[in-house]
Amino acid sequence: MLTSKLSSSPKRKKLSINWAACIPIFSLICLFWVYAATAQDTPPTPPLTAEAVQAELNVGLDTLWVVVCAFLVFFMNAGFALVESGFCRRKNAVNILAKNLIVFAIATVVYWLFGFGFMFGEGNPYIGLNGFFLAGADNSPAIGDAYKGVFPSLNWTSIPLEAKFLFQLVFAGTAATIISGAVAERIKFSAFLIFSFLLVGISYAITGHWIWGGGWLASMGFYDFAGSTVVHSVGGWGALVGAAILGPRLGRYEDGRVNAIPGHNMGLATLGCLILWLGWFGFNPGSTMDLNPRLISHIAMTTNMAGAVGGLAATFTSWTISGKPDLSMIVNGILAGLVGVTASCAFVSVPSAAIIGIVAGVVVVFAVAFFDSIKIDDPVGATSVHLVCGVWGTLAVGLFSEADKFGAAPFPKAGLLFGGGIEQLIPQVVGILAVGGFTVAISFITWYAIQAVVGGIRVSKEDEEIGLDISEHGMESYSGF
Amino acid sequence: MLTSKLSSSPKRKKLSINWAACIPIFSLICLFWVYAATAQDTPPTPPLTAEAVQAELNVGLDTLWVVVCAFLVFFMNAGFALVESGFCRRKNAVNILAKNLIVFAIATVVYWLFGFGFMFGEGNPYIGLNGFFLAGADNSPAIGDAYKGVFPSLNWTSIPLEAKFLFQLVFAGTAATIISGAVAERIKFSAFLIFSFLLVGISYAITGHWIWGGGWLASMGFYDFAGSTVVHSVGGWGALVGAAILGPRLGRYEDGRVNAIPGHNMGLATLGCLILWLGWFGFNPGSTMDLNPRLISHIAMTTNMAGAVGGLAATFTSWTISGKPDLSMIVNGILAGLVGVTASCAFVSVPSAAIIGIVAGVVVVFAVAFFDSIKIDDPVGATSVHLVCGVWGTLAVGLFSEADKFGAAPFPKAGLLFGGGIEQLIPQVVGILAVGGFTVAISFITWYAIQAVVGGIRVSKEDEEIGLDISEHGMESYSGF
Amino acid sequence: MLTSKLSSSPKRKKLSINWAACIPIFSLICLFWVYAATAQDTPPTPPLTAEAVQAELNVGLDTLWVVVCAFLVFFMNAGFALVESGFCRRKNAVNILAKNLIVFAIATVVYWLFGFGFMFGEGNPYIGLNGFFLAGADNSPAIGDAYKGVFPSLNWTSIPLEAKFLFQLVFAGTAATIISGAVAERIKFSAFLIFSFLLVGISYAITGHWIWGGGWLASMGFYDFAGSTVVHSVGGWGALVGAAILGPRLGRYEDGRVNAIPGHNMGLATLGCLILWLGWFGFNPGSTMDLNPRLISHIAMTTNMAGAVGGLAATFTSWTISGKPDLSMIVNGILAGLVGVTASCAFVSVPSAAIIGIVAGVVVVFAVAFFDSIKIDDPVGATSVHLVCGVWGTLAVGLFSEADKFGAAPFPKAGLLFGGGIEQLIPQVVGILAVGGFTVAISFITWYAIQAVVGGIRVSKEDEEIGLDISEHGMESYSGF
């Protein structure tokens, strides 16, 4: 009732709202429908033996660990908002901030409605078909064979269902924010909202099911510990397709030259990078979803090492090439290293993590130049960081894995450089190609469908020149300067 | 000795300092007086049975949980500072930042001296009268009947006394920062400091005692899990009275029109919103003060859902009304949803949390317009967010409670919409009215007393036009722009 | 291979890169050399008794606590970056941000290569000589006599080795960021990188060994719980020497006057202060490296109290002196109080913490004036905050300690004001002088060596006037303003 005027008013003039309004309406319909379906039973209290105390307190420890990590990953929304708005122009800052702020709200709703069900619900090797709106049987935190419920692919972590959901939700939100940066400064606000809704709810969830939901890639031995592919390269593929379809910003490529369009606030961008780095301490170590002291310490260590050397490698690479150490390359180098080690952080040694980070830091510098050379205009380098280094990180599992050493279970085969041949590389390559192909296809279809329905996904030339803050939001980011 | 020159110098010319200096002097007097009175005894070590291990480790888990949540809530000071300064004008940014930074320092001192004692100390149903400066007997973390000490209303959480204090302190600090935004851009710095000191130390503590300190509202069955009333609407009432007494900013209302006074930094405001959202994961789930895995997961879930849909609802509401999605409404919608669910987060289902958030998000948009229509000038919308949605959230307990389902104890009766009739609504309404009436009365008295003593709580017209940064602090926020 | 072009290209023209490139090259050489040397064994599973459950879960609790605190301390990098860049001029913002971002990357590499080994490795009372690149025997989390390994000075905390490393690393990183502020706005980027590398890897690690690594100062009873000396005054001495050698910024001191050079972004500076305050909740309570509920609660309490009253004391002091409450003094007062209580936070009562904070807050105001009077130009007051208050905090242990009361073990003797005479003051004074003398000497040698090798550590007059953002990095921090 309260929101019906949003959608059914006969006097509506603004097309954009009509379409964007599908999101809350559809959500509301689902909401009321499922209202009665959500319920949970209290697990019985076990008798008090040392085993029982251990089990009970492990649930406490694991839950505490996972929710704290979820909070850190949630905070990455701020990191993405700041890096992306800092790297763009002042006249589009409100737009980027608004996108990054609202996208997590959208992710929350859609992932609850069906994203989590598609990803982790019982189903077939290709998609989950149970547990929409978190309904259905579930006796978490029971684990292993004792677990009875519709999310068997998450039966290995002894935490309540809602903690599982929360942790997975903040990951899903990350994928959408990655896209935001690549399509910045020219996309319609409403088009971005709809794309995010569909990406998180459908595409991300389906490919996630293949890997983390017990699907076909998991079965063939593909490993991606914390999401170089599941999160980063999925976001990156969506970003690439979006940036390609939208075309470059006005004036970006002229007469064969690449015109630099400098970002407007390096303080925000740097803070954003440090917030993301902080968030990664939740992203990677938290992906244990289990307070394994040695393993989480090791993952925090490999993660930090890869981020640090990624930053150093990118700095010295760009310093060598351009003669000056570029702050935006320090930022992107750190992020590249962090993305790069995300798939393998639990499976590789610290020196291997350093190598992975160095390669990521060097590669990201050349990737930025490469995308410019093919006139894919990605204002913040999201494609270079998340797609390219996400692919690299996924391959790195097949190269550097010594996974029996660090306490992760299950774990991939030894990597090529550690005597394992190409046995682990093969599923990694298959996974990269399959997820990439699927995400690209879905993204193309989705962007074109939105284009057809909304009437164009790019703002007019005039609006782009004025800036999206005024044209899309009617306000300035820095009033009084 | 060191600070005596602050107060007794015969050469003092600046009246404002004299009065503001009462705060440290009074604090110091109290400090020295109580110096010897603070002491604690070490609890004895129990024999090592499974029960003992369980009890000991539960103290560890609970303490870890509560202090981490306290740190998150502490960080909300940064969130308020950024939202409020971002939403105000550049020329008052230093002033708002200074207020928000120092107010937690003041809260720390006054809450230690007597706020915590008034709120949680043994006393009568109307006020606590024990435990000032954390002195007095206390054998925490003993719980229930085993607890012996002067803070019996906190005997249900098995954590050390100083952890209880820390967690409650960061809540008290929040109430004061809420006021800061509503009185921004025209209040004297010294007047705000004194008001904060008195609000946190007396008014907030007394009404808090009624509800969380085992007072008369608690006895009659009023429920406010994490502080929609205790914290948010108390801050909101103080803000409303302050904004009303101060009157609107120069030029805000002219010839029957409302002149928009745009905020100066949307990047800071958006970051502030995300920091607040992060902090709410400590605010609400942490209010268990107990690491109950299922309950904290559920609260994190309801909290996040309400914030997300609050943001979406406010966005689409304002988009429909004004034709453009306004970033400041996304921010305030998210905060509205979070405030709205704060009282009931442990007692309602996820779909109910979504409804609560939607209502809050819609209501906040109209509340902003309403306050402008009655010429209450609240530069950041604090009254709309914290007071209006705080009241809504408190009522929501009486509407949506299904509290037996989620593990909270004790819990309210079933809400009106879940077969409970108006039994739970009645104490909720009584609590809203009682706390509102008391806070308004005390706020009026306090603001007028400060006005009489300090000689006006509002800066001069000239100072307001120049901006408070120069007039009150002698510095600019953005030198060199 | 990948980075060999960084160092060996025959066409290199830019001298600065050559030297800075020593860092990655040296790191890489070490990296490959040690590759095979890093390995760890899995500890055996004990039989399941109440004792075993207790021991196992304590490892979990302690590890969770320490890594969360490490994340908070890591985030202090953002705090330092924002305070320092906010307090400097717009034209040098990129430079300061870049320094603060990359310095933690450098610290990560060098502390792993040899800093941690020098500091905590087995050796003699003056330096550790084992455990470089985290190699060598280590059966952590075994503790006490059960510990067998090369880091016996850390055998008291039951957490995995990599968690120990991570926590110590974030402390080491802090020391380097302190220097960044004092040498801001005129130092060459490459010179700063090299100095940071050497300070963290050698000087900080050696003096740290004396105190926390079981060295000669520890043996004589010197106490510094969380690093007033180990971290803050070491950073402060390095900062003082750097600022003295560099000389003041152009135009800072003219005709006997001190020309104010206002900071460019008070919003970032204030946020930075709050991030640092947040980080201190990891820094001080986390230094237990052990989840002792009562002790961590007490430390959080003393830390917060000292920061709060430090802020109040500095505010009222500067208000009295200058007639206006200066936001930068609120910021520095809070930081002064926090630095001041860092050494003694586990050993003093809450009222004592308040006294320590008040003194620190007053002293920092006069220290800033003092350094200006001797023409040591420290743009952000790092020397006043970290060196002066670090020394004060170290002395405070000898004045206020009542350490038997709060659960810390081992603990210092009673302080002078609590009946202990000067017995504890003596080692404190010796420690301050020894660490100060050593750090000053090494800093002088290092700065002059860098000067000789790099060809000057200060940018040219022209570059300083243009600003380091353009001259050193070729970019602006605020494009479009």
Question: Residue B24: what pLDDT?
Answer: 56
* Torsion-angle region of B44 (φ positive above 0: left; ψ -120 to 50: alpha; else: beta): beta
Question: Residue A411: what pLDDT?
Answer: 95
pLDDT digits (tens, 9 = 90+) for A168-201: 999 999 998 999 999 999 999 999 999 999 999 9
Which residue, B121, B112, B131, is CA-closest to B169? B112
Which residue, A10, A199, A228, A235, is CA-closest to A106? A199
Measured between CA atoms, the residue of chain C closest to residue B40 is C405
Question: Residue C232: what pLDDT?
Answer: 98
Question: Residue B404: what pLDDT?
Answer: 86
Give the burial string for B356-385 (b: 16+ CB within 10 Å, else e): bbbbbbbbbbebbeebbeeebbbbbbbbbb
Contact A479 B271 (CB under 8 A): no
Return the residue matching tokens 């050349």.
A366
Length reported for chain C: 481
Contact B275 A78 (CB under 8 A): yes
Confidence of residue C7 (pLDDT cuts 50, 70, 90): very low
Residues C444-467, mean pLDDT to the nearest whole number: 94
Q: Are B66 and C293 in contact, with CB atoms under 8 Å apart?
A: no
Contacts of A324 in chain C (CB under 8 A): 472-474
SS3 content of chain C, % helix, strand, coil (to 5): 70, 0, 30
Contact C326 B473 (CB under 8 A): yes
Question: Residue C12: what pLDDT?
Answer: 36
At B221 the three-state DSSP class reads coil
Report the distance separating Cα B86 and Cα B122, nearest Å.
Answer: 42
Residue A23 has pLDDT above 90, yes or no: no
Contact A274 C78 (CB under 8 A): yes
C26 CA: distance to closest CA in chain B (Å): 39
- Looking at the partner chain, which of A263, A271, A281 has a beta carbon nearest the beta carbon of C82? A271
Contact B278 A31 (CB under 8 A): no
Residue C46 has pLDDT above 50, yes or no: no
Question: Residue B11: what pLDDT?
Answer: 37
Return the residue matching tokens 């702050």.
A327
Question: Residue C35: what pLDDT?
Answer: 53
The percent of residues above 90 in pLDDT, for chain C, comes to: 88
A330 CA: distance to closest CA in chain B (Å): 22
Question: Residue A119: what pLDDT?
Answer: 98
Q: Are A420 and A401 in contact, with CB atoms under 8 Å apart?
A: yes
Residue A107 has pLDDT above 60, yes or no: yes
- Looking at the partner chain, which of C291, C307, C324 has a beta carbon nearest the beta carbon of B474? C324
Contact B349 A38 (CB under 8 A): yes
Contact A90 C481 (CB under 8 A): yes
Chains that touch C (3 or more CB pairs under 8 A): A, B
Eight-class DSSP state of A385: I
Question: Residue C176: what pLDDT?
Answer: 87
> Which tokens belong to C76?
């202090």
Report the distance separating Cα C104 and Cα A333, nearest Å.
Answer: 13
Report the distance separating Cα C48 and Cα C54, nearest Å.
Answer: 10
Nearest 5°: the CA angle A279, A284, A290 is 115
> Which tokens belong to A441?
């296809």
The percent of residues above 90 in pLDDT, for chain B, comes to: 88
Q: Taking the CA atoms of chain B, what radius of gyration do you get in angstroms?
A: 22
Residue B300 has pLDDT above 50, yes or no: yes
Helices (runs of H) and strands (runs of E) counted in chain C: 20, 4
The percent of residues above 70 in pLDDT, for chain B, comes to: 90
- The torsion of the CA quartet A361, A365, A368, A369, rounded to 10 degrees, works out to -160
- Looking at the partner chain, which of C78, C101, C473 has a beta carbon nearest the beta carbon of A324? C473
Residue C458 has pLDDT above 70, yes or no: yes
Of B111, B273, B478, which to mutate for an interface test with C (greatest number of C Cβ within 10 Å)? Answer: B478
More confident residue, C130 or C454: C130
Report the distance separating Cα A132 and Cα C271, nearest Å.
Answer: 40
Question: Which whole-number Å values give the CA distances from A90 to A96, A180, A287, A467, B261, in the listed order?
Answer: 10, 16, 36, 8, 19
Question: Residue A2: what pLDDT?
Answer: 35
Residue A339 has pLDDT above 70, yes or no: yes
Return the residue matching tokens 């590669």.
A363
Contact A304 C108 (CB under 8 A): yes
Size of interface A-B (CB pairs under 8 A): 219
Q: Are A456 and A188 in contact, with CB atoms under 8 Å apart?
A: yes
Question: Residue A455: what pLDDT?
Answer: 85
Residues B457-465, mean pLDDT to the nearest whole number: 97
Distance of CA B61 to the CA centre of its chain: 26
Eight-class DSSP state of A128: E
Chains that touch B (3 or more CB pairs under 8 A): A, C
Question: Residue C29: what pLDDT?
Answer: 58
Of C327, C328, C338, C476, which to mutate for an interface test with B (greatest number of B Cβ within 10 Å)? Answer: C327
Residue B16 phi/psi, 5° resolution?
-55, -35
- The torsion of the CA quartet C118, C120, C124, C126, rounded to 10 degrees, works out to 60
Measured between CA atoms, the residue of chain C closest to residue B65 is C65
Contact A63 B315 (CB under 8 A): no
Residue C256, number of CB atoms within 10 A of its CB: 5
The strand pair at A257-258 and B253-254 is best described as: unpaired
A351 CA: distance to closest CA in chain C (Å): 6
B300 CA: distance to closest CA in chain A (Å): 8
The strand pair at C127-128 and B257-258 is best described as: unpaired
pLDDT digits (tens, 9 = 90+) for C108-120: 999 999 999 999 9
- Looking at the partner chain, which of B21, B159, B162 has a beta carbon nearest the beta carbon of C316? B21
Size of interface A-C (CB pairs under 8 A): 217
Size of interface B-C (CB pairs under 8 A): 219
Contact A34 B351 (CB under 8 A): yes
Question: Residue C21: what pLDDT?
Answer: 53
Element (DSSP H or E) covering residue B277: helix B266-283
- Angle at which helix A204-211 crosses helix A234-246, to 10 degrees, equals 150
Report the distance separating Cα B294 and Cα B291, nearest Å.
Answer: 9
Residue C37 has pLDDT above 60, yes or no: no
Return the residue matching tokens 């510094």.
C224
Contacts of C82 in chain A (CB under 8 A): 267, 271
pLDDT digits (tens, 9 = 90+) for A314-328: 999 999 999 999 999
Residue A85 has pLDDT above 50, yes or no: yes
Residue A129, number of CB atoms within 10 A of its CB: 15
Question: Residue B8: what pLDDT?
Answer: 36
Residue C313 has pLDDT above 50, yes or no: yes
Which residue, B393, B405, B294, is CA-closest to B348? B405
Residue C304 has pLDDT above 90, yes or no: yes
Contacts of B85 in chain A (CB under 8 A): none
Contacts of A296 in chain C (CB under 8 A): 63, 67, 163
pLDDT digits (tens, 9 = 90+) for B238-289: 999 999 999 999 999 998 899 999 999 999 999 999 999 999 999 999 999 9
Q: Which residues pair with C187 in a beta bridge?
A: C458
Question: Residue A30: what pLDDT?
Answer: 56
C420 CA: distance to closest CA in chain A (Å): 41
Element (DSSP H or E) covering residue C165: helix C161-182
Confidence of residue C385 (pLDDT cuts 50, 70, 90): very high
pLDDT digits (tens, 9 = 90+) for B463-478: 999 999 999 999 999 9
Element (DSSP H or E) covering residue C433: helix C425-450
Contact A17 B50 (CB under 8 A): no
At C254 the three-state DSSP class reads strand
Element (DSSP H or E) covering residue A124: strand A123-124
B343 CA: distance to closest CA in chain C (Å): 26
Report the distance separating Cα B218 and Cα B214, nearest Å.
Answer: 6
Element (DSSP H or E) covering residue C210: helix C204-211
Eight-class DSSP state of A414: P
- Looking at the partner chain, which of A35, A97, A474 has a beta carbon nearest the beta carbon of B351? A35
> Which tokens belong to B194?
């004194």
So what's the ipTM on this one? 0.92
Contact B305 A108 (CB under 8 A): yes
C379 CA: distance to closest CA in chain B (Å): 15
Contacts of B270 in chain A (CB under 8 A): 81, 97-98, 100-101
At C91 the three-state DSSP class reads helix
Question: Residue C404: what pLDDT?
Answer: 86
Contact A326 C475 (CB under 8 A): yes
Question: Residue B17: what pLDDT?
Answer: 46
pLDDT digits (tens, 9 = 90+) for A33-84: 555 444 444 555 545 899 999 999 999 999 999 999 999 999 999 999 999 9
Contacts of A479 in chain B (CB under 8 A): 89-90, 262-264
Residue C18 has pLDDT above 70, yes or no: no
User: Which amino acid is residue B226, in one-letter code?
Assistant: A
Residue B368 has pLDDT above 90, yes or no: yes
Question: CB-based contacts of C357: which residues, under 8 Å, 6+ apart?
Answer: C305, C306, C307, C308, C309, C310, C313, C336, C337, C340, C341
Report the distance separating Cα C457 and Cα C404, nearest Å.
Answer: 48
At A259 the three-state DSSP class reads coil
Element (DSSP H or E) covering residue C123: strand C123-124
Contacts of B469 in chain A (CB under 8 A): none
Measured between CA atoms, the residue of chain A closest to residue B477 is A481
Arithmetic mean of pLDDT over chain A: 92
Q: In a 10 Å sphere around its CB, with 0-12 CB exposed, 13-18 middle and 19+ buried, how is residue A131 labelled?
A: buried
C136 CA: distance to closest CA in chain A (Å): 14
Question: CB-based contacts of B471: which residues, under 8 Å, 6+ apart?
Answer: B459, B460, B462, B463, B464
Confidence of residue A13 (pLDDT cuts 50, 70, 90): very low
> Which tokens belong to A405?
């050493």
C423 CA: distance to closest CA in chain B (Å): 23
Question: CB-based contacts of C35: which residues, under 8 Å, 6+ apart?
Answer: A349, A351
As a whole number of angstroms, the longest Cα–Cα distance in chain B is: 77
Which residue, C131, C83, C134, C79, is CA-closest to C104? C79
B368 CA: distance to closest CA in chain C (Å): 26
**This prediction's pTM:** 0.93
Of A58, A71, A274, which to mutate for an interface test with C (greatest number of C Cβ within 10 Å)? Answer: A274
- Looking at the partner chain, which of C267, C275, C291 has a beta carbon nearest the beta carbon of B477? C267
- Residue C366 has, within 13 A of its CA and on its CB side, a CA count of 11
Measured between CA atoms, the residue of chain A closest to residue C477 is A266
Contacts of B480 in chain C (CB under 8 A): 89-91, 262, 264
- Looking at the partner chain, which of C278, C312, C328 has a beta carbon nearest the beta carbon of B24? C312
Contacts of A350 in chain C (CB under 8 A): 38, 112, 133-134
Contact A48 B51 (CB under 8 A): yes
C22 CA: distance to closest CA in chain A (Å): 11
Residue C405 has pLDDT above 70, yes or no: yes
